[in-house]
Amino acid sequence: MTTLPRTPSFRLDGKRALVAGASSGIGLGCAAALAEAGAHVVAAARRADELGALVEAIQAAGGSAEALLLDVSDIAGMRTAVAAHGPFDVLVNSAGTARHTPALETTSEDFDIAMAVNLRGAYFLMQAVAMGLIAAGKPGSLITVSSQMGHVGGVDRAVYCASKHAVEGFTKSMAIEWGPLGIRVNTICPTFIRTPLTEVTFNKPDRVRWIEEKIKLGRVGEVEDIMGAVVYLASDASALVTGTALLVDGGWTAE
């Protein structure tokens, strides 16, 4: 009789997962997905009330979670928090910000704010979690919520695109360095997802037309569209996947 191979588990029982930017939008969805898959979720963000409500909701649904106040742009404070609460088997960094202006109107302040969170904060959060795993001699899966804009350009998005292209670059380098230690590093690259962060864009009819023309599946994204992707990359189902980007973009970048 033929012995059939078995699909690796998508479950995360016994894993500790840090989700940065968990208080709303994609980060909240990722925290819910990882908890549903069995992970203990440390939900981190700057807003205590929203984190408390998320943790309460996860626990009410039968999951395991706790809240952690965290600002990824405060490197020293972030390092201290990660060291105190880790090591983490899974990291999902969904903390991000946007400063959308025409390139000719970009201010140095907007540039610095976007880079402090999207690039500098993301880089050193990856480093801090990896250091904890290496010290503990453990493998892990480190995931950054990047963007389709890390692979293409967009109107009024020069600074945002710059930060996300840079994220894609350090992801590949970290994957090469930490692969021999069993630490995988990947990104999830969504198209436009309906969240509080994108509400301003969706209130502009010309931008909505542009988005709908570019998404080949004919609809914008919802938070639920990201949840399966994050469980896949966090779990053993993606055990041979590192240094790459999982595009959840409805076909935007296919052309």
**Which residue in 171, 124, 164, 129 sits closest to 147, CA to CA?**
164
Does 216 qualify as catalytic in the annotation?
no
Residue 214 near residue 223, CB atoms below 8 Å: no
Does 164 qualify as catalytic in the annotation?
yes
Catalytic residue among 123, 164, 214, 232: 164
Catalytic residue among 15, 123, 160, 214: 160
Distance of CA 155 to the CA centre of its chain: 23
Task: Name 185's bridge partners.
Answer: 142
Q: Please list the active-site residues.
A: 160, 164
